[in-house]
Amino acid sequence: MAEIRTVRVMESLLKANDYVAQRLRQAWDQGQTFVVNLISAPGAGKTTLLEATLPVLLSRYRVGVLEGDIETERDAERIRALGVEAVQVTTGGTCHLEAPMVEQAWRLMDNEIDFLFIENVGNLVCPASFDLGEHLRVVLLSVPEGDDKPAKYPKAFRTAQALVITKADLLETMDFSVERARREALEIQPELQVFVVSAKTGVGIPAWTQFLEQRRRQTFPDA
Protein backbone atom coordinates (compact mmCIF):
# COMPACT_ATOMS: atom_id res chain seq x y z
CA MET A 1 0.00 0.00 0.00
CA ALA A 2 1.56 3.22 -1.14
CA GLU A 3 0.74 6.41 0.62
CA ILE A 4 1.78 9.99 0.04
CA ARG A 5 3.52 11.63 2.97
CA THR A 6 4.26 15.34 3.17
CA VAL A 7 7.33 16.33 5.15
CA ARG A 8 7.46 19.96 6.26
CA VAL A 9 11.12 20.95 6.10
CA MET A 10 11.40 24.77 6.14
CA GLU A 11 15.18 24.79 5.87
CA SER A 12 17.43 27.18 4.02
CA LEU A 13 18.91 25.78 0.83
CA LEU A 14 22.17 27.37 1.92
CA LYS A 15 22.23 25.50 5.21
CA ALA A 16 25.19 23.27 4.34
CA ASN A 17 27.29 26.25 3.21
CA ASP A 18 26.28 28.35 6.20
CA TYR A 19 27.20 25.56 8.59
CA VAL A 20 30.77 25.48 7.31
CA ALA A 21 30.89 29.30 7.21
CA GLN A 22 29.97 29.36 10.88
CA ARG A 23 32.72 26.86 11.68
CA LEU A 24 35.23 29.03 9.81
CA ARG A 25 34.07 32.16 11.63
CA GLN A 26 34.60 30.43 14.97
CA ALA A 27 38.13 29.40 13.99
CA TRP A 28 38.92 32.92 12.81
CA ASP A 29 37.47 34.50 15.94
CA GLN A 30 39.56 32.17 18.06
CA GLY A 31 42.75 33.02 16.16
CA GLN A 32 41.79 36.71 15.86
CA THR A 33 42.11 36.63 12.11
CA PHE A 34 40.00 39.39 10.58
CA VAL A 35 38.57 38.17 7.28
CA VAL A 36 37.52 40.33 4.36
CA ASN A 37 35.54 38.98 1.38
CA LEU A 38 35.98 41.09 -1.78
CA ILE A 39 33.18 40.86 -4.34
CA SER A 40 32.97 42.60 -7.71
CA ALA A 41 32.45 42.17 -11.42
CA PRO A 42 35.53 40.90 -13.29
CA GLY A 43 38.16 43.60 -13.71
CA ALA A 44 36.71 46.04 -11.15
CA GLY A 45 40.10 46.16 -9.45
CA LYS A 46 40.11 43.65 -6.58
CA THR A 47 43.69 42.48 -7.08
CA THR A 48 44.94 45.99 -7.71
CA LEU A 49 43.20 47.24 -4.57
CA LEU A 50 44.96 44.47 -2.63
CA GLU A 51 48.28 45.51 -4.17
CA ALA A 52 47.69 49.00 -2.81
CA THR A 53 46.33 47.84 0.56
CA LEU A 54 48.74 45.12 1.62
CA PRO A 55 51.93 47.24 1.73
CA VAL A 56 50.21 49.61 4.17
CA LEU A 57 49.14 46.80 6.49
CA LEU A 58 52.35 44.79 6.22
CA SER A 59 54.36 46.98 8.55
CA ARG A 60 52.06 46.19 11.48
CA TYR A 61 50.13 43.03 10.62
CA ARG A 62 50.57 39.49 9.39
CA VAL A 63 48.50 39.18 6.24
CA GLY A 64 47.36 36.39 3.91
CA VAL A 65 45.28 36.18 0.74
CA LEU A 66 42.97 33.55 -0.75
CA GLU A 67 42.56 33.94 -4.48
CA GLY A 68 39.31 32.73 -6.01
CA ASP A 69 40.14 33.37 -9.64
CA ILE A 70 38.93 30.40 -11.71
CA GLU A 71 41.28 30.61 -14.64
CA THR A 72 44.87 31.17 -13.63
CA GLU A 73 47.38 31.61 -10.83
CA ARG A 74 48.13 35.11 -12.12
CA ASP A 75 46.44 37.03 -9.30
CA ALA A 76 48.08 34.84 -6.65
CA GLU A 77 51.46 35.55 -8.23
CA ARG A 78 50.80 39.30 -8.14
CA ILE A 79 50.16 39.00 -4.39
CA ARG A 80 53.21 36.80 -3.78
CA ALA A 81 55.34 39.43 -5.51
CA LEU A 82 54.56 41.63 -2.47
CA GLY A 83 55.92 38.97 -0.14
CA VAL A 84 52.44 37.93 1.05
CA GLU A 85 51.28 34.34 1.19
CA ALA A 86 48.59 33.75 -1.43
CA VAL A 87 46.73 30.47 -1.85
CA GLN A 88 44.71 29.72 -4.94
CA VAL A 89 41.26 28.35 -4.16
CA THR A 90 40.10 25.63 -6.49
CA THR A 91 36.47 26.31 -7.41
CA GLY A 92 36.01 23.31 -9.69
CA GLY A 93 34.59 25.64 -12.30
CA THR A 94 31.97 27.43 -10.21
CA CYS A 95 31.37 31.14 -10.60
CA HIS A 96 31.68 31.87 -6.88
CA LEU A 97 33.41 30.67 -3.73
CA GLU A 98 31.63 28.48 -1.23
CA ALA A 99 32.58 28.02 2.41
CA PRO A 100 33.88 24.43 2.03
CA MET A 101 36.33 25.56 -0.70
CA VAL A 102 37.60 28.29 1.58
CA GLU A 103 37.95 25.87 4.47
CA GLN A 104 40.07 23.55 2.33
CA ALA A 105 42.34 26.39 1.23
CA TRP A 106 42.60 27.75 4.79
CA ARG A 107 44.04 24.38 5.89
CA LEU A 108 46.94 24.92 3.48
CA MET A 109 47.82 28.34 4.88
CA ASP A 110 49.78 29.84 7.70
CA ASN A 111 46.92 30.39 10.18
CA GLU A 112 48.82 32.79 12.42
CA ILE A 113 47.68 35.91 10.60
CA ASP A 114 45.84 39.11 11.54
CA PHE A 115 44.13 39.78 8.21
CA LEU A 116 42.90 37.34 5.61
CA PHE A 117 41.64 38.77 2.32
CA ILE A 118 39.51 36.57 0.12
CA GLU A 119 39.32 37.68 -3.51
CA ASN A 120 36.08 36.13 -4.71
CA VAL A 121 35.50 35.04 -8.29
CA GLY A 122 34.79 38.04 -10.52
CA ASN A 123 30.99 38.07 -10.57
CA LEU A 124 28.49 40.44 -8.95
CA VAL A 125 25.66 37.92 -8.63
CA CYS A 126 26.59 34.45 -7.44
CA PRO A 127 29.18 35.22 -4.71
CA ALA A 128 26.58 37.32 -2.88
CA SER A 129 24.62 34.21 -1.88
CA PHE A 130 27.45 32.45 -0.08
CA ASP A 131 28.60 33.34 3.42
CA LEU A 132 32.28 32.45 3.71
CA GLY A 133 32.42 33.20 7.42
CA GLU A 134 33.97 36.60 6.73
CA HIS A 135 33.81 39.50 9.19
CA LEU A 136 33.57 42.11 6.48
CA ARG A 137 32.05 41.87 3.04
CA VAL A 138 33.20 44.50 0.59
CA VAL A 139 31.64 45.16 -2.78
CA LEU A 140 33.74 46.99 -5.39
CA LEU A 141 32.27 49.13 -8.15
CA SER A 142 34.67 50.60 -10.70
CA VAL A 143 34.05 53.91 -12.40
CA PRO A 144 34.02 52.47 -15.95
CA GLU A 145 31.17 50.11 -14.98
CA GLY A 146 28.76 52.99 -14.48
CA ASP A 147 26.91 54.39 -11.48
CA ASP A 148 23.70 52.40 -12.01
CA LYS A 149 25.05 49.02 -10.87
CA PRO A 150 23.65 48.82 -7.33
CA ALA A 151 20.00 48.39 -8.33
CA LYS A 152 20.99 45.86 -10.99
CA TYR A 153 22.89 43.67 -8.52
CA PRO A 154 21.03 44.37 -5.28
CA LYS A 155 22.07 41.27 -3.34
CA ALA A 156 25.79 42.07 -3.52
CA PHE A 157 25.14 45.57 -2.18
CA ARG A 158 22.53 44.45 0.35
CA THR A 159 24.84 41.88 1.97
CA ALA A 160 27.98 44.04 2.03
CA GLN A 161 29.11 46.32 4.85
CA ALA A 162 31.40 48.44 2.69
CA LEU A 163 31.39 49.75 -0.86
CA VAL A 164 34.65 50.72 -2.53
CA ILE A 165 34.27 52.80 -5.66
CA THR A 166 37.49 52.02 -7.54
CA LYS A 167 39.45 53.69 -10.37
CA ALA A 168 38.53 57.16 -9.09
CA ASP A 169 41.31 58.59 -11.30
CA LEU A 170 38.94 57.97 -14.22
CA LEU A 171 36.16 60.15 -12.77
CA GLU A 172 37.31 63.16 -14.77
CA THR A 173 36.99 61.40 -18.08
CA MET A 174 33.92 59.25 -17.46
CA ASP A 175 30.27 59.93 -16.91
CA PHE A 176 30.02 58.54 -13.39
CA SER A 177 28.28 60.26 -10.51
CA VAL A 178 29.71 59.21 -7.15
CA GLU A 179 26.66 60.78 -5.51
CA ARG A 180 24.26 58.71 -7.58
CA ALA A 181 26.13 55.47 -6.97
CA ARG A 182 26.32 56.21 -3.26
CA ARG A 183 22.63 57.14 -3.02
CA GLU A 184 21.51 54.06 -4.92
CA ALA A 185 23.72 51.77 -2.84
CA LEU A 186 22.53 53.31 0.43
CA GLU A 187 18.90 52.79 -0.57
CA ILE A 188 19.61 49.07 -0.68
CA GLN A 189 21.89 48.97 2.38
CA PRO A 190 21.73 52.07 4.60
CA GLU A 191 24.62 50.81 6.77
CA LEU A 192 27.16 50.70 3.92
CA GLN A 193 30.46 52.51 4.49
CA VAL A 194 31.45 54.08 1.19
CA PHE A 195 35.04 54.70 0.01
CA VAL A 196 36.20 56.32 -3.20
CA VAL A 197 39.70 55.17 -4.12
CA SER A 198 42.23 55.02 -6.89
CA ALA A 199 44.82 52.31 -6.58
CA LYS A 200 46.71 54.11 -9.31
CA THR A 201 47.10 57.50 -7.61
CA GLY A 202 46.61 56.31 -4.02
CA VAL A 203 43.64 58.61 -3.46
CA GLY A 204 41.36 57.23 -0.73
CA ILE A 205 43.69 54.37 0.23
CA PRO A 206 44.53 55.76 3.71
CA ALA A 207 40.83 56.11 4.68
CA TRP A 208 40.19 52.60 3.42
CA THR A 209 43.08 50.97 5.28
CA GLN A 210 42.25 52.89 8.46
CA PHE A 211 38.72 51.56 8.19
CA LEU A 212 40.06 47.99 7.93
CA GLU A 213 42.23 48.46 11.01
CA GLN A 214 39.37 50.05 12.93
CA ARG A 215 36.99 47.21 12.03
CA ARG A 216 39.55 44.67 13.15
CA ARG A 217 39.98 46.46 16.48
CA GLN A 218 36.20 46.58 16.98
CA THR A 219 35.92 42.87 16.19
CA PHE A 220 38.80 41.88 18.49
CA PRO A 221 38.94 44.57 21.19
CA ASP A 222 41.64 42.79 23.20
CA ALA A 223 43.88 42.08 20.21
In DSSP notation, 36-95 reads EEEE-STTSSHHHHHHHHHHHHHTT--EEEEE--SS-SHHHHHHHTTT-EEEEPP-TT-S
Residue selected from 130, 176, 195, 208 as contacting another protein according to rule CB under 8 A: 130
Binding residue for another protein (CB under 8 A) from 58, 109, 126, 194? 126
82 binds another protein (CB under 8 A): no
Please give the residue ranges that form the binding site for Mg ion (CB under 5 A): 46-47, 75
Shortest Cβ 166–ligand GDP spacing (Å): 6
In the list ligand GDP, another protein, Mg ion, none, the entry touching 11 (Cβ below 5 to 8 angstroms by class) is another protein
**Cβ nearer to another protein, comparing 11 with 172:** 11
Q: Residue 155, interface with another protein (CB under 8 A)?
A: yes
Contacts of 143 (CB under 8 A, 6+ apart): 165, 166, 167, 168, 170, 171, 174, 176
The CA angle 31-223-196, to the nearest 5 degrees, is: 95
| DSSP state letter for 168 | G
Distance CA 132, CA 117 (A): 11
- Out of 15, 30, 60, 221, name the contact with another protein by CB under 8 A: 15
Q: Are 74 and 122 in contact (CB under 8 A)?
A: no
Under the binding rule (CB under 8 A), the answer on residue 95 touching another protein is yes
Q: How far is the CB of 13 from another protein (least distance, A)?
A: 5
Site for another protein in 56-75 (CB under 8 A): none
Selection from Mg ion, ligand GDP, another protein, none that 13 binds (CB < 5 to 8 A by kind) is: another protein
